Amino acid sequence: MTTVSETKWVGRAIRRREDPRLLAGKGKYIGDITLPGTTYVHLVRSTHAHARIRNIDTTKAENYPGVVAVVTGEEVAAAMKPMLVPSIIPRLGGELQIPTVYPLAIDKVLWVGDPIVAIIAENKYIAEDAAQLVEIEYEPLPVLEDPEEALKSDSPKIHEDWKSNVLWHGELGDGDVEKAFREADYILSERFYGHRTGCAPLETRGAVASYDDFTGLTLYINSQRPHILRMALSQILNIPHDKVRVIAPKDVGGAFGTKAPIYREDLLICYLAMKLKRPVKWIENRMESLMTIGQERDQIHYLELAVRKDGKILGLRDRIIADVGDGRTGVYLGFVMPWLGAAYLTNAFDIPNVHIDLSCVVTNKPCLSPSRAFGEFPARFAMDYALHLVARELNLDPRDVFEKNIIKKFPYVTATGITHDSGDYVGAFKTLLEALDYDRVKQEQKEARKNGRLIGVGFAMGAEMSGIGSQVFVAMENQPGYGSATVKIDTHGMVQVLEGDSPQGQGHETTIAQAVADELGVNIDDIYISYGDTFATPFASGTLGNRGASYTVSAAVLACRKLKTKIQKIAAYLLGIESDSEEFIFANREVIWKKDNSKRVSLDDIADVAIMAPTKLPPGMEAGLEATAYFEANIASMLSIGVHGAVVEVNPKTGDYKILRYVVVDDCGVPINPMLVRGQVHGGVVMGIGNTRYEKYIYDEAGQPLCTTLMEYHMPSAADVPDIEVIEYNVPTPYTPLGTKGKGEGVPGPVPATLASAITDAIDRPGFKLLNLPLTPESIWRALNEDK
Amino acid sequence: MKISGTYEIPTNSTTVFQLLTNPDVLERTVPGLKSLHLIEDNIYDADLEMGLPTVKGRYKGTVKLVDAVIGEHFRLIMEGQGPLGFVQADVLIKLEQISENQTKVDCEGEATIGGVVAGIGQRMISGVASFLMGQFFKAIRKEASKAENVGN
């Protein structure tokens, strides 16, 4: 007699189910989708950062053999509403000026890369060649590259109908800040700058649209949020919702936030398919990608901390100026990121008195697009590095300053209104110091110094969002925060899960299956996951902000539980047992009675009865085995902590530094698949190191982007990063059914303060500080030589 | 981008001035210059091909000659636009005769390059600019020797 199997899938580091097809080159990406009769689009983009368009001559391009159509701004605008419809405008209070946005530039260009003319041709080569024949006359206008310049009242207005260049201004905070500063023993006051950087997914953006009068518009697009896009398309293009179908491909080659907004090109491609009644395909090239998306951070913080002499932070004031670019991208308008940076500024610290004044300023650069460590990258740098500077100034051990200020009681609501649900931040912090062997490193530092070697140790906290509940998300982005999933058992007893999100490499086919396998007592190979098609999946906001493991997995679990109630009733009826419905165990594809485990029914038999032979169901019971659940945590938001530490060695002659150790203590509640969690942490740290040390979207004074290839925008390779040590320190959250939380989104955040504090500790010279990112050998060398 | 350079031409400053402001000579000597036509006083229509091997841009625009004092100095203001971007340059050229048959030419100015060439070539562009200027003045030196020989 077999015993009840307790094979658990959650918690096991099984290999990703996605990988065999990806490793064999059989992934299906947007580039792989081509419909019969497809035409190809190439965009003529502005070469000026700010200019009036005097004339556009498309005659030669139109006459080029193989060109199907040449389209300019006014024609496209006439066919739709201004893109920023109310449903994709955040409602965060404050003062917001909304730009009028159409897919192509009309009369004026606002940044190098602003799309002006679309060439549609029989193939992409013809489209590119014909694009060279378009003649555009520009009248250059003054270029605004510096947000502090753009803030000045006598600056020219980028959006001429606005009263200033401030897209959004608002204040965040709570408590008695004046009192805190009056009572402070010491006030730290510094200007911190986090440069324009972010991400560069190797798969660029892409879309394939088709249209016919009967089925309407079908858009294949590598979007993180197909449902939201579908809703927006229907509204902007005035097409009934049932005639708009958005499908995200099965595989997306990384997004990191950049594929979450609603871009001007999305609308353009749809319009072209509707105009031409032929499929239209657009794949962004690398240069377009590097000059358009992935640009984030770009914040100046005038940060002040009111500190008691024992290192306790009594209050915080910050004036943030964010360079949001042209502000013309849907959903975020470039300002949601800096707003989040402000909202999460106090990180994992208990600072009751906070006042933040945030100005999001438009400049002649592309609009900020979300990027992993969403808005908080420069804020984490300013906050955590400031704590190290406080320790240095007050001659305290930075360990004690951190420990004194770390949040200890949960749930905790910050002065900016962010809810920390649960965790043990101090425990995680102490675990990091142990792992670093902090005291020994400090001892070794002294020894090394005698030999002329500069070694330093640094650390920082990262409280990263783990999805945002509707309480916050509805206001923030006009979108629900719930996770949604449908679980269906099919005629063969296989389990199909349909989720409303749309993963881009997170491994949902593995993790959701692990959770569902445990709930239904089936094997992971019995489960198949469907996503991306808005005609088949339940509505959801998309895969972003660490929502998967907290919200989406929980929805799948809840859907299973709804189904289990019905399955148990069927089992009891088939077994002829009087039983209430919670008396069965699900294991080995069987439903087993707890009281007598010889009484069991296979899931296949139950599926067969429920779907194929409903006459055998309990009288009156509805047929089918299918349930949908929408999961909303009973708390405004959840966060998961990651504590980073590094040991570095600095060469004071060159400013170069070597990362000798990099350690992360990580809490994700319950890891569904520890291998995937480690992968997320590794990837996040690498991205953080890239952003901190190598990557920068540079503009010259004329607003020309100087990093338009991966030669100039250098992302780290394996040779550029140290071994990353990850230590799990998991505290299950009581707010999700499995205790799981999301992980990965915020991981780059603590990297700059970790490295800056380690470098500063290594240099250990009064007055030496690193206030500007990136931390390149050059910037360190300059800082070293400036304060001499 | 700053442009600067000093070159020596083996002839007197008046001849150098004439060479440097003569459209026929320039058409022969400016690397990539396809044509130069006078459209009004001191303003020329120019057709220029310039760039790096993979991203050569063709620019159409104007060249203006201003603040000219024969044998002493002049300013060149160039503006060109093309499908891959634009070039703008404003260069002051000062002449100083250092001996009977030797003139020092000082170039000092600003250039802005926009579009694909700027994006791809930024690390190479100032090198390319000084290379092109070197090429140009080498050609001018030849023209000067020719002029000297004709004069003799």
In a domain, A110, yes or no: yes
* Helix (H/G/I), strand (E/B), else coil: A635: coil
Which residues of chain A from 91 to 130 reach within 8 Å of chain B, CB to CB? Answer: 112
Average pLDDT over every residue of A44-67: 97
- Cβ atoms B105, B7 nearer than 8 A: yes
- The whole-angstrom separation of Cα A130 and Cα A64 is 6
In a domain, B50, yes or no: yes
Verify whether the Cβ–Cβ distance B119 to A291 is below 8 Å.
Answer: yes
Domain count, chain A: 3
In a domain, A321, yes or no: yes
Average pLDDT over every residue of A736-740: 97
Whether A74 and A119 map to the same domain: the answer is yes
In a domain, A375, yes or no: yes
Could you please report the per-residue DSSP string of A100-115? ---SS--SEE-STT-E
Mean pLDDT in chain A?
96
- The whole-angstrom separation of Cα A607 and Cα A351 is 55
Listed in order, strand segments (DSSP E) in B10-151 are 33-40, 43-52, 55-69, 73-82, 85-99, 102-115
- pLDDT tier at A457, thresholds 50, 70, 90: very high
B110 touches chain A (CB under 8 A): no
* pLDDT of B133 higher than 90: no
Per-residue model confidence as pLDDT tens digits over A521-579: 999 999 999 999 999 999 999 999 999 999 999 999 999 999 999 999 999 999 999 87
- Residue of A509, A210, A577 whose CA lies nearest to A591: A577
In a domain, B152, yes or no: no
Per-residue model confidence as pLDDT tens digits over A77-107: 999 999 999 989 998 999 999 999 999 999 9
Q: Which helix (H) or strand (E) holds B122?
A: helix B116-151
In a domain, B32, yes or no: yes
- Cα–Cα separations (whole angstroms), residue A90 to A101, A304, A543, A690: 16, 28, 18, 30
CATH number, residue B142: 3.30.530.20
Quote the domain boundaries for residue B105.
Answer: 2-147
| Predicted local confidence at residue A788, as pLDDT | 60
In a domain, A169, yes or no: no
- The whole-angstrom separation of Cα A123 and Cα A126 is 6
Whether A579 and A498 map to the same domain: the answer is yes
Instruction: Enumerate residues 6+ apart whose C-beta is below 8 A from A530.
Output: A496, A497, A498, A499, A536, A537
In a domain, A189, yes or no: no
Whether A640 and A768 map to the same domain: the answer is yes
- Residue of A257, A251, A252, A286 whose CA lies nearest to A199: A257
- Cβ atoms A630, A483 nearer than 8 A: yes
Whether A307 and A369 map to the same domain: the answer is yes
Whether A412 and A432 map to the same domain: the answer is yes
Per-residue model confidence as pLDDT tens digits over A676-715: 999 999 999 999 999 999 999 999 989 999 999 998 999 9
Whether A241 and A332 map to the same domain: the answer is no
The beta-carbon neighbor of A704 closest among B83, B84, B114 is B114
In chain A, which residues have their Cβ closer than 8 Å to the Cβ of B116?
47, 287, 708
- Cβ atoms A244, A217 nearer than 8 A: yes
In chain A, which residues have their Cβ closer than 8 Å to the Cβ of B112?
700, 702, 704
- Cβ atoms A327, A310 nearer than 8 A: no
Average pLDDT over every residue of A436-442: 97
In a domain, A170, yes or no: no
In chain B, which residues have their Cβ closer than 8 Å to the Cβ of A141?
none
Residue A32 is encoded by which pair of tokens? Answer: 């792989």
Q: Is A449 left (phi over 0), alpha (psi -120 to 50) or beta?
A: alpha
Whether A593 and A575 map to the same domain: the answer is yes
- The whole-angstrom separation of Cα A559 and Cα A687 is 35
Per-residue model confidence as pLDDT tens digits over A623-652: 999 999 999 999 999 999 999 999 999 999
| Predicted local confidence at residue A762, as pLDDT | 98
- The whole-angstrom separation of Cα A70 and Cα A42 is 10
Domain count, chain B: 1
- Residue of A455, A434, A441 whose CA lies nearest to A727: A434
Whether A286 and A302 map to the same domain: the answer is no
| Predicted local confidence at residue A1, as pLDDT | 37
- The whole-angstrom separation of Cα B38 and Cα B27 is 12
The beta-carbon neighbor of B119 closest among A48, A49, A708 is A708
* pLDDT of B121 higher than 80: no
Whether A487 and A626 map to the same domain: the answer is yes
In Å, how far is A137's CA from the nearest CA of chain B? Answer: 8
In Å, how far is B47's CA from the nearest CA of chain A? Answer: 14
Whether A409 and A375 map to the same domain: the answer is yes
Whether A465 and A512 map to the same domain: the answer is no
| Predicted local confidence at residue B55, as pLDDT | 62
- pLDDT tier at A2, thresholds 50, 70, 90: very low
Could you please report the per-residue DSSP string of A63-117? TSTTEEEEEEHHHHHHTS--S--GGGS----SEE------SS--SEE-STT-EEE
Per-residue model confidence as pLDDT tens digits over A16-38: 999 999 999 999 999 999 999 99
In a domain, A235, yes or no: yes
In a domain, A2, yes or no: no
CATH number, residue A285: 3.90.1170.50
Quote the domain boundaries for residue A77.
Answer: 33-141+203-253+259-292
Q: What is the DSSP letter of A611?
A: I
B85 touches chain A (CB under 8 A): yes
Amino acid sitting at position A425: Y
Whether A272 and A314 map to the same domain: the answer is no
Backbone angles phi, psi at B19, to 5 degrees: -60, -45
B87 touches chain A (CB under 8 A): no
Q: Which residue has the higher pLDDT, A492 or A299?
A: A299
The beta-carbon neighbor of A705 closest among B1, B112, B119 is B119
Instruction: Enumerate residues 6+ apart whose C-beta is below 8 A from A472.
Output: A481, A636, A637
**Burial class of B104 by CB neighbour count within 10 A (0 to 12, 13 to 18, 19+):** middle
- The whole-angstrom separation of Cα A441 and Cα A17 is 41
Per-residue model confidence as pLDDT tens digits over A571-614: 999 999 987 768 999 999 999 999 999 999 999 999 999 999 99
Per-residue model confidence as pLDDT tens digits over A124-181: 999 999 999 999 999 999 999 999 999 999 999 999 999 999 999 999 999 999 999 9
In chain B, which residues have their Cβ closer than 8 Å to the Cβ of A131?
83
* pLDDT of B128 higher than 80: no
- The whole-angstrom separation of Cα A247 and Cα A508 is 17
Per-residue model confidence as pLDDT tens digits over A468-505: 889 888 877 788 999 999 999 999 899 999 999 999 99
- The whole-angstrom separation of Cα A754 and Cα A281 is 43
